[in-house]
Structure formats: structure tokens, C-alpha cells
Amino acid sequence: MSKIQMLTPIVEMDGDEMTHILWGMIKEKLIRPFVDLKTVYYDLGLRHRDETSDQVTIDAANAIKQYKVGVKCATITPNAARVEEYDLKEMWKSPNGTIRAALDGTVFRAPILVKGIEPCVRNWKKPITLARHAYGDVYRNTEMAIPGPGRVELVYTPVNGSPQKALVHEFDDAGIVQGMHNRQSSIESFARSCFSYALDVGQDLWFATKDTISKTYDQNFKLTFQKIFDEEFAEKFEKAGIQYFYTLIDDAVARVMKAEGGFIWACKNYDGDVMSDMVSSAFGSLAMMTSVLVSPDGYYEYEAAHGTVQKHYYKYLNGEPTSTNSVATIFAWTGALARIGLINENQPLVDFAHKLEEKTLETIAEGKMTGDLARITTLENPTVLGSEEFIDAIAEKMA
Ligand code: NAP
Ligand code: MG
């Protein structure tokens, strides 16, 4: 059998711990037997990030700009314990944060639905994809404790011209204050990424803020989305038969619970942080959640939503059996391969990616799954497979 060719490579970012072990197995057993895999390889494993003083992460982000599509393994975001464990020169920043900053993108998270793993919300029949704005608001805030009586003001000092002031509060006792911001350019990129992604996947887009209360800040998000939609996307949406729908965040939350899914829900940074955890756990498992960073310039970076599964890795190192779910990592690979296939009009590669997804889900639907899914499945008598056995079961179907 001749292997499927790739016309241009994708950027491959290897990572850490258990997901690094799965990474190798997926390539060897599920991809290389069928595809003449071409990647530009970056090792974002923590040791190599430390050796290169994190330059490798910046190089990888730049490579995505060159090759348009990347696939990333989960990586350790160092904390104090990791600095000691790996004897790091510095507490390096989150690679995801570095890549996101370089590509200026929006992160879309979508659950992988499969027979036997049922959402807690009975009426959810199709995936709900959450799009989280990844810049500003409370994540870049400035806070102050107010010890006692006094006046707090917002002051804007323009480069040219005289300062503008607004009263925040006239304190007659102790209290707290918080200042936050966003940039117009970031809000516009967020809007464009959401509209483009909705067109890409042919799904409606919902967006919600608290504009009734926040009459300048949230109102700006609402108006910016509407303006960009009217000027750049309304016609394309009509042609594609999809809709843009704005509502108040409270109303959106209520409607999401009653909806059947199959749409994209765009959220401001904080709403997206909180709601993505609710949506992903209600769909079943973090190990069944994909994540793609889409930049306004049309670059795509695919990954699993979960971390490096540290506890399983230490078992693996001790020679104990593990049952780590590789589905989200497999779907990161298929997402990236299908995307580069689409860009290069390489239909066999697109077909291969879809086939691998189908066979992965078939394996689970037949009752063969890893321990995390076996614990929550509605199928009777599931067969619990080890990390490698599960990948082997998919490989058998692919052959
Ligand atoms: P985690 O890797 O997501 O795992 C937390 C727990 O969730 C696991 O112990 C396991 O539960 C379960 N789990 C997650 N993924 C699973 C899978 N594929 N199969 C089966 N079970 C799975 O989070 P963590 O252990 O808190 O973090 C480990 C490292 O990951 C940290 O250093 C963190 O910085 C990093 N991280 C990276 C990313 C990223 O690169 N995108 C994202 C998040 C975290 P049981 O132990 O009960 O089996
Ligand atoms: Mg969160």
C-alpha cells in the first residue's frame, strides 16, 4: 500500500510526561503506517525549553506563522515544585501563553461526542464549542486594597492633551478596587476569529456579554462584534446558512442549558474560563475535549485540552500499567492533518484524518476504552484497555 503524501509539513511540538509517551505511539502506530508524515519538529519538553532558555517555544510559534498549521503535545507549565524537580534556570512561562501571545488567537474548545459517553445535560445532542477571548479583562487587572476613607478615581493621561478623570468611589471606610482593560485591536481579532471559525465549521455563532450593566466596556464588545459582522461576514453567513446571535450573558447561559448544541459560544475571557469548565465536564471528560487556537491571520494550532497527566506518568516510570486516554491527542493530530490537507487541497489526507477519527470513536462505541471512560460509560461491561492497548485496538481497525 502506498502512503498518503503531504505537500507541505506541519509544525510538530512535542511535550512532556504521559502525553509525550502517547505522542510517540500515536505517530508510530496510527499515522506513519498510512501517511508519509512531514513535520517541522520542536521539542517543547521542559528540559529542552530550559536548555534553550525557552527560545524553542518562540521558534515554534514563528514556525506556525510560516507553515500555517501546528500540532502541540501537552506541556508542563512550571511552578515552584517543577523548578526543583527539573532543576530549572527559571520558572519559564506557560508555552501556551507564549504561543497565544505570538499568534494573537482565540481558543476554541470542542467536546468529542461518542456513543456510550452521554452528556449530563440530556438535551445536548451535538457538541457545543466554546470560544474564549484570551486577552485582558480581569486577567490583566490592577487591584488595590483601600485602607480607609478617601476618593478613588480613574485617570487617563493621553500622550497629547489633558487628562480625563472619572470617580470610581468616594470611600468613607476601607474597601477594594480593581482596574481592568482591553484593547480594541484584540477585541476585533477575537470577533474575526470567531466569525471565520463559524464559517469554517458551518455552525451558528452565539455571543453574550453583560452590556446592560457595563454600558461602555461590555457594550464595546457587543458593538464591535456587530460592526465586523455587518461589514465583513453577514453575506457569507447568509450564503452558508448560518446565524450570528447576540444576547445577554444570563440569557445565553439559560438557553445553552435548553439547547441541543451544534453551535459556537463566544465568551469574554472570564466567562470563557468558567463556562468552558462547566461545558467540558458536563460533556463527560476533559480527556475528550479538543482545543484549537485560531489566529486572525489564519494560523491554526491544535492540541488536547488536558494536561500532561503527571500521575499516570509516574506510574508508567515505575513500570506499573497505565490507562491514559489518547483520544484528544489523536484528534489534535487529525485536526492538524485535515487542516493542512484542506489548505493544500489534499483530499486523501483529509479523508485519512476523518477515517482515523471515525475508527477511534468506533473502538469506544464497541466497548473498548481507557479507564477514565469506563468509569462513566453507559455501555454495559466495557473492556478497560491500557494506554498502548487502546491505541493498538484503533490501529487494528485502521489496518
Ligand atoms: P491533567 O494532566 O489534565 O490531569 C489531571 C487528572 O485528570 C489526571 O490525574 C487524570 O485523573 C485526569 N486526566 C486528564 N487527562 C487524562 C487522560 N488523557 N486520560 C485519563 N485521565 C486523564 O492535569 P494536571 O495533572 O493537573 O497537570 C499536569 C501538568 O499538565 C501540569 O504541569 C500542568 O502545567 C500541565 N498542563 C498543561 C496543559 C497544556 O499543555 N495544554 C494544560 C493543563 C495542564 P486520574 O488521576 O484520576 O486518573
Ligand atoms: Mg478555568
DSSP-derived secondary structure letter, 73: -
Q: Is residue 290 part of a domain?
A: no
Q: Which domain holds residue 65?
A: 1-108+297-399
pLDDT of residue 77: 92
Distance CA 360, CA 367 (A): 11
Q: What is the mean pLDDT of the chain?
A: 95
pTM over 0.95? The answer is no
Q: Is residue 288 part of a domain?
A: no
E-state strands within 191-254: 204-209, 244-248
Query: Residue with C-alpha cell 470617580?
Result: 167
Whether residue 252 sits in one domain with residue 126: yes
For residues 253-262, one letter each, b for 16 or more C-beta atoms within 10 angstroms of the residue's C-beta and e for the rest, the string is eeebeebebe
Q: What is the pLDDT of residues 261-312, one digit of tens each?
A: 999 999 999 999 889 888 988 887 888 999 999 988 889 999 998 999 999 9
Supply the pLDDT for residue 277.
83
Assess contact for 242 and 203: CB atoms under 8 A.
Answer: yes
**210 SS3 class:** coil
For 27-56, what is each residue's pLDDT tens digit? 999 999 999 999 999 999 999 999 999 999
> 296 or 120, which is more confident?
120
* Predicted local distance difference test score (pLDDT) of residue 139: 83
Ligand 1 nearest atom to the CA of residue 76, by list position: 32
* Number of domains comprising the chain: 3
Q: Is residue 291 lining ligand 1, measured as CB closer than 6 Å? A: no
The Å distance, Cα 286 to ligand 2 centre, comes to 12
* φ/ψ (deg, to 5) at 353: -60, -45
Please tell me which residue, 65 or 1, carries the higher pLDDT value.
65
Residues 122 and 263 in one domain: yes
Cβ of 306 below 6 Å from ligand 1: yes
Specify the higher pLDDT residue, 384 or 140: 384
Closest atom of ligand 1 to 325 CA is: 19
Pocket test for ligand 1, best of 91, 309, 360 (most atoms within 8 A of CB): 309
User: What is the reported pLDDT for 298?
Assistant: 85
- Residues 234, 216 share a domain: yes
* 65 and 172 share one domain: no
| CB distance 269 to ligand 1 below 6 Å | no
Same domain, 66 and 167: no
Q: Concatenated DSSP letters for 91-110? A: -PPPHHHHHHHHHT-EEEEE
* Residue 5 confidence (pLDDT) above 80: yes
Question: In this model, does residue 1 exceed pLDDT 80?
Answer: no
Distance in angstroms (rounded) separating the CA atoms of residues 379 and 386: 18
Residue 241 belongs to domain with CATH number: 3.40.718.10
Q: How far is the CA of 132 from the centre of ligand 2 (A)?
A: 11
Q: Is 47 close to ligand 1, i.e. is its CB under 6 Å away?
A: no
> Is 291 a member of any domain?
no
